[in-house]
Amino acid sequence: MSNKTSISILALTLVASGAITNGRFVGPAGAQAAAAGNALGVAKTDAAIGDLVAVTVMGTEITEAGAAIAANALVEIDAAGRAVTKAAGVTVGRLAPGSAAGAAGDYVEVILFPN
Strand 8-15 versus strand 52-64 pairing type: antiparallel
- When pLDDT is cut at 50, 70 and 90, the band that residue 97 belongs to is very high
pLDDT at 52 over 80: yes
Domain count, the chain: 1
Mean pLDDT of 80-95: 98
- Residues above pLDDT 70, as percent of the chain: 97
Alpha-carbon dihedral angle through residues 104, 35, 30, 24, given to the nearest 10 degrees: 10
Q: Domain containing 74: what range?
A: 1-115
68-76: Cβ within 8 A, 24+ apart: 68/101, 68/102, 68/103, 68/104, 69/95, 69/100, 69/101, 69/108, 70/95, 70/100, 71/95, 71/97, 71/98, 71/99, 71/100, 72/97, 75/110, 76/36
Distance CA 8, CA 30 (A): 18
Helix, strand or coil, per DSSP, at residue 84: strand
pLDDT at 63 over 50: yes
* Alpha-carbon separation of residue 94 from 27, 29, 49, 63, 70 (angstroms): 17, 23, 29, 11, 10
Average pLDDT over the chain reads: 96
Instruction: Identify the pLDDT of residue 93.
Output: 98
Mean pLDDT of 40-51: 98
For the beta carbon of residue 12, count every other beta carbon within 10 angstroms. Answer: 13
pLDDT at 3 over 80: no
Instruction: Identify the pLDDT of residue 5.
Output: 85
Mean pLDDT of 55-68: 98
